[in-house]
Amino acid sequence: MDAIVTHGLTKHFRDLTAVNALDLIVPSGGVVGFVGPNGSGKSTTIRMLLGLLTPTAGTGEVLGSTISHPARYAHRVGALIESPSFVLSLSARSNLRSLAALRGLPTTRVDAVIETVGLVGRDRDLVSTYSLGMKQRLAIAAALLPDPELLILDEPTNGLDPAGIVEVRTLLIELGNQGRTLLVSSHLLAEIEAACNQVVIIRFGEMLFSGPLAELMARTAAHVELVPEHEEDLSRLAELYGVRGYVVRRDKGDLVVEAPAATAPDLNRIAAQEGITLRKLAAHEETLEETFLRMTGSTDGDNATTRSRQRAERSSTDREAADA
Amino acid sequence: MLRVLKSELIRLIRPSFIAGGIGGMAAFGAISTVIGFAAAGKSGAGPGQYIPTEAALAAPDGYAAGLMLAANLIGIITLSFWAIATASDYSTGLIRLLAQAEPRRWRLIVGKVLALTLYTLVGTLAATLAAYATAQVCALVFDVSTAAWTDVAPTLLESFRNLALSASVWGVLGLVIALLTQSSGVAVAVGIGYLVVFENMIVAVVSDASDWLLGATLTALAAGGTPGISFESALQLGAAYLVGGILIAIVVMHFREITY
ipTM of the complex: 0.86
User: A219 vs A267, which has greater pLDDT?
Assistant: A267
> Is position A292 within any domain?
no
Model's pTM, two decimal places?
A: 0.81
User: B1 vs A45, which has greater pLDDT?
Assistant: A45
Q: Is A106 on the interface with B (CB under 8 A)?
A: no
Among A97-106, A223-232, A288-297, B74-83, the minimum mean pLDDT is found in A288-297
Taking CA–CA distances from B93, the nearest residue in chain A reads A85
> Is position A234 within any domain?
yes
Per-residue pLDDT band for B44 (boundaries 50, 70, 90) equals low
Contact flag B97-A99 (C-beta cutoff 8 Å): yes
CA distance from start to end of chain A:
44
Among A36-40, A125-129, A313-317, B205-209, the minimum mean pLDDT is found in A313-317
Same domain, A99 and A131: yes
pLDDT of the residue at A201 = 85
Same domain, A203 and A73: yes
Same domain, A115 and A21: yes
Q: How does strand A254-258 pair with strand A222-228?
A: antiparallel
Which of B100, B108, B114 has the highest number of chain A CBs within 10 A, making it the mutation to test binding with A? B100
Same domain, A23 and A96: yes
Q: How far apart are CA B95 and CA B99, in angstroms?
A: 6
Taking CA–CA distances from B104, the nearest residue in chain A reads A71
Q: How far apart are CA B137 and CA B130, in angstroms?
A: 11
Measured at the CA of B108, the angle between CA A78 and CA A116, to 5 degrees, comes to 25
Residue-wise pLDDT for A239-257, tens only, equals: 999 999 998 988 878 899 9
Among A163-167, A183-187, A316-320, B126-130, the minimum mean pLDDT is found in A316-320
Average pLDDT over residues B21-28: 87
Contact flag A85-B11 (C-beta cutoff 8 Å): no
Same domain, A60 and A191: yes
Same domain, A48 and A143: yes
The DSSP string of B168-232 is HHHHHHHHHHHHHHS-HHHHHHHHHIIIIIIHHHHHHHSGGGGGTSHHHHHHHHHHT--SSS-HH
Residue-wise pLDDT for A5-31, tens only, equals: 999 999 998 888 888 888 888 888 889
Same domain, A111 and A199: yes
Q: How far apart are CA A22 and CA A58, in angstroms?
A: 8
Return the SS3 of A212: strand
Among A281-290, B124-133, B154-163, B250-259, the minimum mean pLDDT is found in A281-290
Q: Is A103 on the interface with B (CB under 8 A)?
A: yes
- CB nearest A97 (choices: B10, B96, B104): B10
- pLDDT above 80 (res B210): no
Question: Chain B contacts of A53, Cβ < 8 Å?
Answer: 257-259
pLDDT of the residue at A316 = 45
> Is position A291 within any domain?
no
Residue-wise pLDDT for B45-95, tens only, equals: 444 456 778 888 888 888 888 787 778 888 888 998 999 999 999 988 899
The number of folded domains in chain A is 3
Domain boundary among A218, A233, A259: A218
Domain boundary among A218, A242, A263: A218
CA distances, A46 to each of A61, A80, A172, A245, B16 (Å): 12, 10, 18, 46, 34
- Residue A19's nearest CA partner among A28, A27, A10, A7 is A10
Residue-wise pLDDT for A53-73, tens only, equals: 999 999 999 999 999 999 999
User: Which amino acid is located at B212 in the chain?
Assistant: W
Query: Shortest Cα distance from A10 to chain B (angstroms)?
Result: 15
Query: Shortest Cα distance from B227 to chain A (angstroms)?
Result: 45
Q: Where in the sequence is the domain holding A116, given as residue range(s)? A: 4-218
Same domain, A208 and A259: no
Question: Chain A contacts of B97, Cβ < 8 Å?
Answer: 79, 81, 85, 99, 142
Same domain, A194 and A279: no
- pLDDT above 50 (res A319): no
Domain boundary among A218, A234, A250: A218
Q: Is A79 on the interface with B (CB under 8 A)?
A: yes
Tally the C-alpha atoms within 13 A of residue A23's C-alpha that lie toward its C-beta.
Answer: 4
Q: How does strand A198-203 pair with strand A30-35?
A: parallel
Q: How far apart are CA B45 and CA A301, in angstroms?
A: 63
Q: How far apart are CA A308 and CA B210, in angstroms?
A: 54
Per-residue pLDDT band for A306 (boundaries 50, 70, 90) equals very low
Same domain, A236 and A181: no
Taking CA–CA distances from B92, the nearest residue in chain A reads A85
> Is position A290 within any domain?
no
Size of interface A-B (CB pairs under 8 A): 85
Highest mean pLDDT among A28-37, A192-201, B108-117: B108-117
pLDDT of the residue at B205 = 83
pLDDT of the residue at B172 = 94
Contact flag B258-A70 (C-beta cutoff 8 Å): no
At residue A113, φ and ψ (nearest 5 deg) are: -75, -30
pLDDT of the residue at A251 = 82
- pLDDT above 60 (res A303): no
What residues form DSSP beta bridges with B173? none
Q: How far apart are CA A175 and CA A6, in angstroms?
A: 24
> Is position A293 within any domain?
no
pLDDT of the residue at A314 = 46
CA distances, A37 to each of A168, B122, B259 (Å): 22, 51, 19
| H or E stretch at A191 | helix A189-195
The DSSP string of A88-143 is TTSBHHHHHHHHHHHTT--HHHHHHHHHHTT-TTTTTSBGGG--HHHHHHHHHHHH
Same domain, A127 and A253: no
> Is position A310 within any domain?
yes
Same domain, A230 and A202: no
Query: Shortest Cα distance from A46 to chain B (angstroms)?
Result: 11
pLDDT of the residue at B99 = 93
Q: What is the mean pLDDT of chain A?
A: 84
Q: What is the mean pLDDT of chain B?
A: 87
Q: How far apart are CA B114 and CA A305, in angstroms?
A: 47
Residue A79 near residue B86 (C-beta atoms within 8 A):
no
Q: Is A134 on the interface with B (CB under 8 A)?
A: no
Share of chain A above pLDDT 90, in %: 41
In chain B, DSSP finds a helix count (H) and a strand count (E) of: 12, 0
CATH for A167 = 3.40.50.300
User: Strands, E, within A213-271: which ranges?
Assistant: 222-228, 247-251, 254-258
Question: Chain A contacts of B259, Cβ < 8 Å?
Answer: 47, 52-53
Highest mean pLDDT among A91-100, A201-210, A311-320: A91-100
Taking CA–CA distances from B99, the nearest residue in chain A reads A52
> Is position A117 within any domain?
yes
Q: How far apart are CA A63 and CA A72, in angstroms?
A: 9
- CB nearest A98 (choices: B10, B93, B96): B10
User: Which amino acid is located at B146 in the chain?
Assistant: T
- pLDDT above 80 (res B177): yes
Question: Chain B contacts of A146, Cβ < 8 Å?
Answer: 101
